Structure 1
Amino acid sequence: MVTRSFESRAGGEPILYRSYGALVSADGAADRRTIFGIVCPFNQVVEIRDSYGGYLERFAAGAFRKTINEAGARVKLLRGHDARSLPVGRAVELREQPNGLYGAFRVAETAAGDELLTLVRDGVADAFSVGFRPIREREQRTDSGMIVVRTEVQLMEVSVVALGAYPSALIAGIRSADSGLWTHGRRAAYLRGLEPEELLAL
């Protein structure tokens, strides 16, 4: 499997992008404007092709810890890595879980935000993609070849996109205070090993 990968060199250091299948959901308040899911899975080896060439890559647990501690709510949500347009939301929760970086994002009450939520609800846009600057890494030699292990990255932004490489990072349905999980609830429960009613209690 090959990740969708490209980069930007604005500001000197390259920003790398990795897209993952993500179950997107709207959570919490009755207005249902918070989407959440695994933004970047840990310890999944994928093939990357970018300006550094072709190589194998995986993210180690702890890679996003510094960003969470230092940036937190300042991490913005974009649509398709479009930095020329204003963000469509911001992070309200970022935390590392055993299976990857979990993120929840409040979507702005704007025309662009409303359109994004419609695309999510209709299943048109169901993937997260991360934009990051590599900080620290190590090489792991395996029978399959050398793996670049990302041990620390600076998370620049998170985007909602239409296509992802990792089925384990799906955006997780829509949940509200009054109506519970939206139609992706059972899919989210399956992927996370929980029943829908258990997801409501998260």
Structure 2
Amino acid sequence: MTGAAEGLPISGYASLWGVADLNRDVLVRGAFAASLARSGAAGVRMLHQHEGRAVVGVWDELTEDEQGLLVRGRILDWSAEARFAGALARAGAMDGLSIGFRPVRARRAGALRVLVEVDLWEVSLVTFPMLPGARFRPAVPVPPAEATSAFA
């Protein structure tokens, strides 16, 4: 079991630019910029299945890059729910990410809602993400001996 201060490191994409989710929402690059400038990673909660009482870790970094919203954080072991989420992640039984937000500026493009600016509240670890490509993986470091032997 990981210590509460360390946690299980995870990283992935919580959103991808220009890709419609199952609800027909599409985010454009820069949609999170104002929200992240106001709150930073510390202002965005890591929840399990969008459950407000189930804070399961912390986000250390949220960055908009060329692909989407890249997130890095740690699942902690401070509650039964957090330990459960960590066990699911380690086993590969849960790897989805989903965002909780308030739309600030949006426009319609046919059947799509194009989100130009959103106020990001939380990024949840979920079983079934609304955006199928929004996934995370535990960041498990490879020991140096194993890393070099693969290329020998």
TM over 0.5: yes
Partner SS state of residue 67, structure 1: helix
**Structure 1 equivalent of residue 33 of structure 2:** 65
Partner SS state of residue 87, structure 1: strand
8 Å CA contact 1:125–1:160 kept in 2: the answer is yes
8 Å CA contact 2:98–2:134 kept in 1: the answer is no
**1:63-104: CA deviations, max 9, x gaps?**
000121111112110111111x24111211000011110111
8 Å CA contact 1:128–1:164 kept in 2: the answer is yes
8 Å CA contact 2:94–2:125 kept in 1: the answer is yes
Equivalent position amino acid for 1:43 in 2: G
Equivalent position amino acid for 2:101 in 1: F
Q: 1:150 aligns with which of 115, 128, 135?
A: 115
Partner SS state of residue 43, structure 1: coil
- Structure 2, unmatched stretches of 5+, are 1-5
How big is the shift at 1:138?
A: 1.9
Residue 80 (structure 1) aligned with residue 52 (structure 2)? no
Equivalent position amino acid for 1:164 in 2: P
Equivalent position amino acid for 1:163 in 2: F
**1:153-192: CA deviations, max 9, x gaps?**
011111111112444322124323x648xxxxxxxxxxxx
* Cα distance in 2, alignment partners of residues 164 and 86 from structure 1: 17
Q: 1:80 to 1:46 in 2, by over 3 A?
A: closer
Q: 1:43 aligns with which of 18, 29, 33?
A: 18
Equivalent position amino acid for 1:78 in 2: L
How big is the shift at 1:109?
A: 2.8
8 Å CA contact 1:33–1:107 kept in 2: the answer is yes
Q: 1:132 to 1:90 in 2, by over 3 A?
A: same
Identity %: 29
**RMSD (Å), alpha carbons:** 2.2
Q: 1:108 to 1:172 in 2, by over 3 A?
A: closer
8 Å CA contact 2:54–2:82 kept in 1: the answer is no
Runs of 4+ in 1 over 4 A off after TM superposition: none
- Structure 1, unmatched stretches of 5+, are 1-30, 49-55, 181-195, 198-202
